[in-house]
């Protein structure tokens, strides 16, 4: 499957950052036993990955705008296009030597995400999608959301806020309503991969409160192009702005969202 020039640029940037992160990840595994721990080292690895991505993307498309987790927002000469980047999604996993983290890069055009790449560098899995061209894993596997139709057979992913964040009580209430109605809930620590796994039919749905645009932007186009549904948790909100997202396969989306909305 052939992507556009923009998509190829995104894949190139993700691979380059992924190589740097994999090298640093090996070092992190060694640092677990040191008394200081790998905290500062991981912050540097994260910043370096964003520098690499920014150099590639802004070098190739200097007029586009930018929103990155580490370097923030920079409006571009072209107000209609913007890169949305999380250089290392799943930082806590990375810090603990857990191989479940990803590079996430999205392209927004006139407020809509039109291309997305989520690269799981530790497993060499490149998830990508472009509006109208489908969602894909690596070069040849077309992604489709799962076909499960009953909640009780389905598995859902989420993020449970850490460090006493304000959305914790609402998430615990979500879990109390959802868990008796489904086959399980996973909290694997990377929103970008949670959404890629929904696109791949591995998870049947995903929701999260208090999430940032860079965590979910690429995932939104992956899920939609794999045939799934994505919205904000609250009716009428934009998930990229309000930071509360829900997605899933078509058959389950309404009952799943109904439970999360407490309807």
The residue ranges that bind ligand IPD (CB under 6 A) are 86, 89-92, 159, 189-191, 208, 211, 215
Footprint of Ca ion on 72-91 (CB under 5 A): 86, 89
Work out how close the CB of 86 gets to Ca ion at its nearest, in angstroms, rounded to a whole number: 4
Report in angstroms how near the CB of residue 214 gets to ligand IPD at its nearest.
8
Q: How far apart are CA 130 and CA 73, in angstroms?
A: 23
Closest contact distance (angstroms) between CB of 43 and ligand IPD is 11
Q: Quote the least distance from Cβ 9 to ligand IPD, whole Å.
A: 22
Helix (H), strand (E) at residue 24: helix 5-31
Strand segments, DSSP code E, in the chain are: 65-68, 72-74, 81-89, 102-109, 112-120, 125-130, 134-137, 141-142, 155-158, 184-186, 205-209, 229-232, 244-248
Closest by Cα among 115, 68, 91 to 21: 91
Are 101 and 95 a contacting pair, CB within 8 Å? no
Q: Cα 197 vs. chain centroid, distance in angstroms?
A: 10
Interaction partner, residue 154 (ligand IPD, Ca ion, none; CB < 5-8 Å by kind): none
Beta carbon nearer to Ca ion, 118 or 200 = 118
Which residue's CB comes closest to ligand IPD?
A: 159
Nearer to Ca ion, 107 or 213 (CB): 213
Residue 104's binding partner out of Ca ion, ligand IPD, none, with CB under 5 to 8 Å set by partner kind: none
Task: Kindly state the smallest distance separating residue 56's Cβ from ligand IPD, in Å.
Answer: 20
Over the window 89 to 108, marking each residue x when it contacts Ca ion by CB under 5 A and - when it does not, the resulting string is: x-------------------
Give whichever of 200 and 216 is closer to Ca ion, judged by the CB atom.
216
| Min dist. Cβ of residue 171 to ligand IPD (A) | 10
Per-position DSSP letters for 175-216, written without gaps between them: HHHHGGGSSEEE--S-HHHHHHHHHTTSSSEEEEES--HHHH
Instruction: Between 194 and 215, name the residue whose CB sits nearer to Ca ion.
Output: 215
Neighbours of 175 (CB within 10 A): 15
* Cα(164)–Cα(173) distance, integer angstroms: 15
**Smaller CB separation from ligand IPD, 189 or 228:** 189
Residues 229 to 258: which contact Ca ion by CB under 5 A?
none
Smallest Cα–Cα separation from 42: which of 58, 56, 31?
Answer: 31
Q: Compute the distance between CA of residue 149 and CA of residue 4 in angstroms, rounded to an integer.
A: 34
Q: Which of 24, 50, 194, 215 binds Ca ion (CB under 5 A)?
A: 215
Binding residues for Ca ion, per CB under 5 A? 86, 89, 215
């Amino acid at each position: 499957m052939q992507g556009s020039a923009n998509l190829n640029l995104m894949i190139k940037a993700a691979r380059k950052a992924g190589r740097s992160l994999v090298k640093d990840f090996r070092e992190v595994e060694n640092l677990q036993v040191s008394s200081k721990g790998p905290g500062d080292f991981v912050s540097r690895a994260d910043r370096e990955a964003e520098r690499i991505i920014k150099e590639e993307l802004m070098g190739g498309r200097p007029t586009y705008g930018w929103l990155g987790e580490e370097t923030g927002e920079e409006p571009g000469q072209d107000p209609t296009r913007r890169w949305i980047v999380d250089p290392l999604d799943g930082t806590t996993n990375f810090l603990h030597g857990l191989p479940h983290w990803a590079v996430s890069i999205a392209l927004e055009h006139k407020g809509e995400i039109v291309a997305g790449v989520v690269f799981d560098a530790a497993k060499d899995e490149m998830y990508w999608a472009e509006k109208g061209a489908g969602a894909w894993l690596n070069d040849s596997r077309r992604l489709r959301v799962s076909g499960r139709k009953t909640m009780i057979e389905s598995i859902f992913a989420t993020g449970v806020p850490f460090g006493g964040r304000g959305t914790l009580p609402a998430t615990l209430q979500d879990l109390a309503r959802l868990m008796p109605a489904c086959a399980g809930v996973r909290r694997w620590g990377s929103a970008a991969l949670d959404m890629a796994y929904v696109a791949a039919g591995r998870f049947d749905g995903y929701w999260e409160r208090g999430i940032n645009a860079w965590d979910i932007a690429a995932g939104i186009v992956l899920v939609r192009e794999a045939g799934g549904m994505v919205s904000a948790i609250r009716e009428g909100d934009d998930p990229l702005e309000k930071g509360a997202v829900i997605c899933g396969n078509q058959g389950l989306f309404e009952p799943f969202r109904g439970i999360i909305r407490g309807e």
